[in-house]
């Protein structure tokens, strides 16, 4: 990513993000879920809207430039913690946590990565099921991490998804992805989402490096 390249050795570690920052994002996630589920009367909604306007004003009183935040993990892996696929500082992103992700070596080497997720009501499509676009975002993110870990980062140019079953909300999901190969500037990945032993969606992806 261009921001990381420009920062060089100045990229902070994950511990540079305060617990208060994480707590704020968690509270906003809970707010989104509560807004989806609420049945309070209109007067209460109007009062809450006024309260939120004050909170929004306080948050906007000082903004980061650029707003994108990247960190470097102890193993050297760089993560954008504000991106929409799994960024822990982005309350709109699915809650996705990764098992240890290998750092790419000097040559391409196929790898497998595993991530875990729980989707809330703000990400719903059918009743008690996740919207397919959210599942696609999650797959694109985890497959992209696998491709990068294998040694071939790039932009998504193709994502083919087969939905095998509805993806349930509020339960643990496992996303497994593999960087499977490279051909010039193109790299390839595959993966699937599971709820328990059931595959609910699987995908293949093609990425193209922005660097010639």
Which pLDDT value is given to residue 7?
A: 52
Beta bridge partners of 182: 187
Name all contacts of 58-66 with Cβ < 8 Å and 24+ positions apart.
66/3
The values of phi and psi at residue 114, to 5°, are -125, 135
pLDDT digits (tens, 9 = 90+) for 169-204: 999 999 999 999 999 889 999 999 999 999 999 999
32 membership: H or E segment, kind and range: helix 19-37
CA dist 126 → 82, 121, 131, 156, 168 (Å): 27, 10, 7, 27, 10
Q: pLDDT band for 9, please (50, 70, 90 cuts).
A: low
- d(CA 39, CA 167) in angstroms, rounded, equals 25
Which pLDDT value is given to residue 65?
A: 87
Going along the chain from its start, the domains and CATH numbers come out as 18-60 (no CATH), 85-208 (3.10.129.10)
pLDDT digits (tens, 9 = 90+) for 69-124: 999 888 778 889 998 888 999 999 998 999 988 888 888 999 999 999 999 888 99
Which pLDDT value is given to residue 3?
A: 45
- d(CA 1, CA 123) in angstroms, rounded, equals 27
Rounded to a whole number of angstroms, the distance between the first and last alpha carbons of the chain is: 14
């Amino acid at each position: 990513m261009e921001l990381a390249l420009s920062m060089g050795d100045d990229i902070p570690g994950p511990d540079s993000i305060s617990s208060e920052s994480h707590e704020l994002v968690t509270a906003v996630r809970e707010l989104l879920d509560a807004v989806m589920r609420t049945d309070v009367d209109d007067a209460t909604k109007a009062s809450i809207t006024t309260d939120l306007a004050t909170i929004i004003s306080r948050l906007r009183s000082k903004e980061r430039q650029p707003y994108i935040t990247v960190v470097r993990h102890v193993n050297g892996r760089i993560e954008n913690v504000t991106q929409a696929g799994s960024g822990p500082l982005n309350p709109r992103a699915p809650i996705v946590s990764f098992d240890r992700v290998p750092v790419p070596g000097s040559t391409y080497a196929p790898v497998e990565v595993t991530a875990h997720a729980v989707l809330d009501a703000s990400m719903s499509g059918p009743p008690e099921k996740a919207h397919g676009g959210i599942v696609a975002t999650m797959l694109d993110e985890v497959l992209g991490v696998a491709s990068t870990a294998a040694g071939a980062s790039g932009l998504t140019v193709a994502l083919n998804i087969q939905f095998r079953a509805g993806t349930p909300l509020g339960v643990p999901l496992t996303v497994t992805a593999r960087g499977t190969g490279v051909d010039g500037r193109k790299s390839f990945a595959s993966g699937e989402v599971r709820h328990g032993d059931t595959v609910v969606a699987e995908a293949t992806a093609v990425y193209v490096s922005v660097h010639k």
